[in-house]
Amino acid sequence: MPKVTFIDIGEMSYQKAWDYQTELHNEVKEAKLARRHLSEEEKSQLEQKNYLVFCEHPPVYTLGKSGSLDHLLLDEKALLEKDIEFFKINRGGDITFHGRGQIVGYPIFNLDEFFTDVHKYVRFLEEAIIRTLADFGVEAGREEGFTGVWLPATTTLPKRKICAIGVHLSRWVTMHGFAFNVNTDLKYFNYIVPCGINDDDKTVTSLSAEIGKTVDLNEVKICLKRHFSDLFEFEYSK
């Protein structure tokens, strides 16, 4: 089975976390290239590194390479006043928010060790969140035509997005990942068009908003870790 090193870096600024993620991404790519010149016996003695990184960020908006700057509803002055950072980045998708109380996950996987299928990879990220929400008694699923994890509409509530997903691959090594709203302050989504979706029948939510209480982030992380290893069929490095 593939081996994955789990790292929880806690709260870290977006730029610092991006630099760290890039460092790990380069390490995995370089190790992958080095293994190509080894015999099967030598490969068996050299473990391919993979990482699953969890963190939280201070308030920040990130805009994917296919996104529109028009979906940021604050100017530079307002961003400074509200102490929110902004970055254009190389993942797919549009604009999203990262902040405290949100679990941001960065899987840095060599997909050659798992499967080389981008769509399946994104579906597995969604499925890990869906299964975690089920652990907390929340029914979730997918919305046709959109990535991420959604809660179905009710008689009083529209469809609600609870997790955004945006990924980038280089040589089949992944980076970026998911942003799972657990105890997230949802007011920050009022200052953007979240993920570029401006439909009246869709909004954003969090796990705490859905179940009516603050959630222990560590409990959520334990569930996420278990579902990741089950879905991707890997073991955590000790």
Positions marked active-site: 195
User: What does the buried/exposed string (b/e) look like for 138-154 if buried means 16 or more CB atoms within 10 Å of the residue's CB?
Assistant: eebeebeebbbbbbeee
CB 162 within 8 A of CB 189: no
Backbone φ and ψ of 58, nearest 5°:
-60, 160
Whose tokens are 């990184």? That residue is 53
Tokens found for residue 64: 């994917």
**Interhelix angle 217-232/118-135, nearest 10 degrees:** 140
